[in-house]
Chain A
Amino acid sequence: MSNSPTPIFLAENRSWTYWFADGLPQLLIGISVMLFGFFFIYMGTPSLSNALVVLAIVAFAAYMLIQIRAPQILDWLKTRITYPRTGYAASPYFANKNNICRDANLNLPPAPDPNAPAIAEIKRLRKERNRRLSRTYILLALTSLALWFVHTSWICALTGIVMGIILWLGTRADKSVSLLVVLGFPVVGFYVGTLQLNPHARVGSFIFGAGLLFLLEGLVSLLLYLRRNPVANVPVA
Chain B
Amino acid sequence: MTPDLQALATLDRVVHEPARLMIMTVLYAVPETDFLYLQRECGLTQGNLSSHLAKLEEAKYVTILKTFKGKYPLTICSLTKLGREAFEDYVRKMRYVAGATAGGNGT
- Residues of A bordering B, CB below 8 Å: 1, 7-9, 11-12, 14-15, 18, 75-76, 79-80, 83-84, 86-90, 92, 95, 98-99, 102-103, 108-109, 111-113, 116-119, 122, 232, 234-237
CA distance A120 to B51 in the complex (A): 31
A83 touches B84 (CB 8 A): no
A113 to chain B, nearest CB (A): 7
A113 touches B88 (CB 8 A): yes
Which B residues touch A113, using CB under 8 A? 88
A182 to chain B, nearest CB (A): 28
| Contact A116:B39 (CB < 8 A) given known A102-B78, A111-B81 | no
CA distance A232 to B84 in the complex (A): 30
| Contact A11:B26 (CB < 8 A) given known A111-B81, A111-B88, A234-B72 | yes
Which A residues touch B66, using CB under 8 A? 236-237
B69 touches A88 (CB 8 A): yes
Give the interface residue-count category, chain B. Answer: 35 or more
A86 touches B37 (CB 8 A): yes
Q: Is B12 close to A, CB under 8 A?
A: no
Partner of B88, one of A7, A95, A119: A119
Most interface-central of B66, B88, B99 (chain A CB within 10 A) = B88
**Besides the known contacts A87-B36, A109-B81, 5 further A-B residue pairs in the complex with CB atoms under 8 A apart:** A11-B30, A15-B33, A79-B72, A88-B34, A103-B81
A112 touches B85 (CB 8 A): yes
15 A-B pairs with C-beta separation under 8 A: A9-B29, A11-B26, A14-B41, A15-B29, A79-B72, A80-B70, A83-B72, A83-B74, A87-B37, A88-B37, A89-B33, A95-B31, A103-B80, A116-B88, A235-B75
A99 touches B85 (CB 8 A): no
Which B residues touch A235, using CB under 8 A? 35-36, 39, 46, 75
B72 touches A237 (CB 8 A): no
A92 touches B30 (CB 8 A): yes
A84 touches B72 (CB 8 A): yes
